[in-house]
Structure 1
Amino acid sequence: MGKVFSRRTVLVTGASVTAGLTVPGIAHAGGTGRAGFTLDAQTLDGGEQVTSVTLATARFGPLDPAGLTTGTFSVHAKATSPIDTGGQDIGYDLDRPVTAARLDHRGNVVLDLSYGEGQPGGGTLGYINSKGRNVRLNLAYTITQHEPLRSRGGRPVTITRFTQGPLVNAEVDAFDHHTSRSGMKYRLYSPAHRNGRRPLIVWLHGGGEGASLPDNYYDNETTLRANRGALGFATREAQAIFGDAYVVAPQSTSAWMDDGPRFAPLINEIVRDVLRTRPVDPARVYVVGCSNGGYMSVKMTTVYPRTFAASVPICGVVAAREAGGPPLVPDAELAAISTPTWLVASRDDDTVDPQANTVHAHELIPRSSMTLYDHVIRDGHQFPGHWSWIYVARNDPSIGGTHVWQWMARKHR
């Protein structure tokens, strides 16, 4: 259980959270001070989670790692929605178990936290059912010190106040923020090596990652935090296959399916902006998207048949949204697609019927390829059947020994 303290805490939602404590008997026994901390996150297949916190303790001098244990500090997390949820509770208020405590190469204390697919309390996003949207939660973390740290010389170090800093996710932060001339926001990853013209991969997000303009919510964030779709193409493995590619991830102002014909020119404007401002090979532009973005990937190849070298629609919609309504992509348009297309879905998808959409599109799109999974399982965890984008983000689909990333990379318009 450790010692008992008197603690004073001030909480403010967002990045300005602070927390402090007074430790009887040791507060004045040695060095004292304040420390900021960052929330260190990773985007898992099921969404982003805070996996550790890093305390800025290097300025207290060399610390003795031998005295640092999982009980030295405790971590409490509170998450709230930034917009009205209509009464739905999408947040949490709980302790985050510390699984390891260590010093990084700079001398800062890192507290590793328990996390994993489906584990509550670490997520940075919340899904609002009534709006069909993910939102980035306001995170307020409280750090409590239970034992003094020890310097190499044996001096006790007590931190009297902690100040929360930014959310840090190296993969997400590698994508720059941009806004097109028409006002559509997007994130852009630029490869480390840019000699010569490079490929461009366009990632179109699902319905839950768009904006909610009635709530004045347009974050240009969730498309990278909700899943690994865009991030997968920025990994070292993908970059090696594509030969250092740019990756662009536009964010819809609602959902692509709400008005595909209107959104298509806005996406194309972003593609043209990147082609104009970056050394991109116009013969190697690829479009990939999931769910709503799967529909939009198909739509882009019907509206701009000469733009894309390949298209990978994942669990996308082409059929009518409502019984008796017109199809989102008519059969005649599907049959006229000339862009090389590889469709992906899972048979147990209970959100988008794979037979009426993916299989139907495959039957009509000339020379298209298709991968159908039975379930969506990754590292022993079974995800909802609709989440087949997980496989594309990991370069899993293959036909005749050729995986989907290699297939894309070989295509030139």
Structure 2
Amino acid sequence: MRTPISRRTVLVSGATIGASALLGAPTASAAVRERGDALVTPIAEVLDGGEQVTSLVLSSQSLSRVERSSLTGSTFAVHVTAINPLTREVAYEQDRLVTGARWTGSGEIILELEHGWGVDGGGTLQYMGGYGRNVVLDLDYAITQVEPLRGRGAGGAVVLDSFRQGRLSDPEVDAFTHHVTASGLNFRLFSPAHQGSRDGAALVVWLHGGGEGGLRTDGYDYYDNETQLRANRGALGFATPEAQDLFGGAYVLAPQATSAWMLDGDGFAPLILEAIMEVAAAHRIDTGRIHVVGCSNGGYMSLKMVAEYSEMFASSVPICCGIGARDGSGSFFISDDELTAMETPTWLVHSADDATLDAEDNTVYAHERIDGSIMSLYDTVTWDGITYPGHWSWIYVARNDPHHRGRSIWEWMATTKR
């Protein structure tokens, strides 16, 4: 990875005069005691608005000889370039604001980066609007040491003048293992620390939205098995300690469509079933506690799975779902007969200000026809003081917010059996 030379830096490769000047030393050789390289690991987190790089970890043997009190938030400058892997175009390029710097117990440096809703330059995904797909960006983090790190003992400076970037790390995402079914459908799987009851653990099937499928048109062949976890917290929520405690341990299965579920519900349904059956055959799954949850495209697909396999699921949670034009003229369709025949316990979630899939035409319509169904209809999608686009009601389920008769949606799912 390159080390940039710019007016922002005085400690760059070969800049011994600058180092001497900073330290007030009589000669460069006395000032610069050691120069070394460092491994840079970007650390990401899936926030309610999607995944962002929130910090960088710097690892180097040279850091063991640094006086720790010499590290400040302005010791290093950070610049990022993000490239779309399909078009090879620059998605964004900018400096990242370092909001703090600290040491780990093992002697690494953590640079905290500004992040959050409305903060540019942190995202790991780019939405290609013309195709309705998210892609994981190629990120190049350039680090520059702009202030000295003081060496222990005799003094002098330790200068990191070469940086190598490691792979992106997101502990929550990385907890899901990679798999492919016999038919070639990608899926990720979270395995619980505790295997549940004598009958096995529950299985939560998360069906992603339209932006998280593959892109195999116009010469592209993109099918990454990543975006269904990185775009939102839908699957990750069920892998949190809080959810796992409520379920007594649950596997979380997140299959990835090769395109979009709504484009071929009839074709995707048996492929999702195959993934479920493969996981159930390989792990101790309580087949009476298989739950299907999905948002947008996946909200439609959760209803489709119940319509096709009525005896499979303990519960269904369609979020901001689509049910199709009532004359069946669209590419996706859940008929009135299918809705009224559903006996699987169902909890529908939507926001009234959804401009992508109208709540009245879809969720309210389905709720009125699914006997005994529960509906949480919000006015807006507002969480932690931030109002998100109205289509993003999956945030509420990922945060276990919907409640009915004293029980949260996770509690309801965890105690519902087939």
Select 2:215's aligned residue among 212, 215, 226. 212
Aligned residue number for residue 23 of structure 2: none
**Aligned 1:5-404 pairs, distance under 5 A:** 5=10, 7=12, 22-26=15-19, 28=29, 29-84=32-87, 91-153=91-153, 154-194=155-195, 196=198, 197-214=200-217, 215-320=220-325, 325=330, 328-404=333-409
Q: Distance in 2 between matches of 1:294 and 1:21?
A: 57
Q: Distance in 2 between matches of 1:412 and 1:126?
A: 39
Structure 1 unaligned residues grouped into runs of 5+: 8-19
Identify if the C-alpha distance between structure 1 residues 30 and 276 changes in structure 2 by more than 3 Å, giving closer, same or farther. same
User: Shift in Å at residue 148 of structure 1?
Assistant: 2.0
Q: Distance in 1 between matches of 2:224 and 2:332?
A: 31
Secondary structure of 1:167's counterpart equals coil
Identify if the C-alpha distance between structure 1 residues 24 and 321 changes in structure 2 by more than 3 Å, giving closer, same or farther. farther
User: Shift in Å at residue 120 of structure 1?
Assistant: 1.1
Secondary structure of 2:376's counterpart equals strand
Name the amino acid aligned to 1:162. Answer: F
Structure 2 unaligned residues grouped into runs of 5+: 1-5, 20-27
Identify if the C-alpha distance between structure 1 residues 4 and 41 changes in structure 2 by more than 3 Å, giving closer, same or farther. closer
Number of residue-to-residue matches in the alignment: 398
- Tell me the TM-score normalised to structure 2 length: 0.91
Q: Distance in 2 between matches of 1:144 and 1:218?
A: 35
* 8 Å contact kept, 2:204–2:290: yes
Name the amino acid aligned to 2:309. Answer: Y
Q: Distance in 2 between matches of 1:325 and 1:2?
A: 57
Identify if the C-alpha distance between structure 1 residues 112 and 375 changes in structure 2 by more than 3 Å, giving closer, same or farther. same
- Tell me the TM-score normalised to structure 1 length: 0.92
C-alpha distance after superposition, 1:280-314 (max 9, x if no partner): 10000000000000000000000000110000000
C-alpha distance after superposition, 1:239-284 (max 9, x if no partner): 0001110001000000000000110000000000010000110000
Q: Distance in 2 between matches of 1:251 and 1:144?
A: 38
* 8 Å contact kept, 1:22–1:160: no
Tell me how large the CA RMSD over aligned residues is. Answer: 2.0
Q: Distance in 2 between matches of 1:318 and 1:6?
A: 60
Name the amino acid aligned to 1:209. Answer: E
User: Shift in Å at residue 105 of structure 1?
Assistant: 1.2
State, as a whole percentage, how many aligned pairs show the same letter: 52
Q: Distance in 2 between matches of 1:275 and 1:62?
A: 52
Name the amino acid aligned to 1:169. Answer: D
Aligned residue number for residue 11 of structure 1: none
Name the amino acid aligned to 2:259. Answer: S
Secondary structure of 2:72's counterpart equals coil
Name the amino acid aligned to 1:66. Answer: S
* 8 Å contact kept, 2:76–2:143: yes
